[in-house]
Amino acid sequence: MIDSKKLLENNFYLWLITSHDRRVSLWKSNQSFDLCSLIDWLTFSAPSSDSTSNNWQSYPPSLARFIDTNLIMYTGHGMDKCIQIYNIDKKQIIRRISLNHWCSCFDISNIKMRNGLIAIGTNERLIQLKDYTQETFQDFLGNNDRIGNIKFNKSNDLLITTSSNEIFVWKIVFN
């Protein structure tokens, strides 16, 4: 998974790249990629694997997104089913959000707004919308297979989910 965020200073970009081994690399580059430098390597904790379950492909994927230029949202195979909020400046996890299922994919709406949401897709066909602030959630079923991709549109009033041969468009309604 790759995510980027444009910095306001000098047209630089921050890049976030995750790998399946729970490592997240943070890069900074200029617009033309003449300058590209590694800022930090992050590794998130996970249970020690025993010799009988060395099949890393069966683990949930490592996923990360920028919340803003200082905060990263991460989830992956770890000690608990959760989303972790990591502060880049403090170099520490500042918050954990519990999950009921491992994520196969996730997206975040504009969480600086009043109704900030995290959309979570699972291998169990479940779509979960989680309120970023309150951590309340609502579950939805619709797709016939594991959720492969999940994405809010720019106005955050639609959620698009895909599975093996389906695309669903969900209308987000706040009461």
In this prediction, residue 105 has a pLDDT band, given cuts at 50, 70 and 90, of very high
Residue 78, domain member (yes or no): yes
Does pLDDT of 18 surpass 90?
no
**Domain contains 155:** yes
> For the residues 117-138, what does the mean pLDDT come to?
90
Same domain, 92 and 108: no
Pair 123, 164 in one domain: yes
Is the whole-model pTM more than 0.75? yes
- β-pairing, 71-75 with 63-66? antiparallel
50 in any annotated domain: no
Task: Report the run of H or E that residue 170 belongs to, with start and end.
Answer: strand 166-171
Are 94 and 121 members of one domain?
no
Kindly state whether residues 111 and 124 are assigned to the same domain: yes
For every residue of 61-111, DSSP letters joined together read PPEEEESSSSEEEEESSSSSSEEEEEETTTTEEEEEEE-SS--SEEEE--T
Same domain, 125 and 160: yes
Residues 3 and 79 reside in one and the same domain: yes
Q: What is the pLDDT of residues 70-100, one digit of tens each?
A: 899 999 877 788 999 999 999 999 999 999 8
Gyration radius from the chain CA atoms: 17
Band of pLDDT at residue 45, cut at 50, 70 and 90 = confident
- Picking from 95, 135, 131, 88, the residue whose alpha carbon sits closest to that of residue 113 is 131
Enclosing domain of residue 70: 1-44+60-98
Say whether both 114 and 172 belong to one domain.
yes
CATH of the domain at 15: 2.40.10
For the chain, the domain total comes to 2
**pLDDT surpasses 60 at 154:** yes
Pair (124, 150) in one structural domain: yes
Distant-in-sequence, close-in-space partners of 103: CB < 8 Å, separation ≥ 6: 60, 61, 63, 75, 76, 83, 120, 121, 122
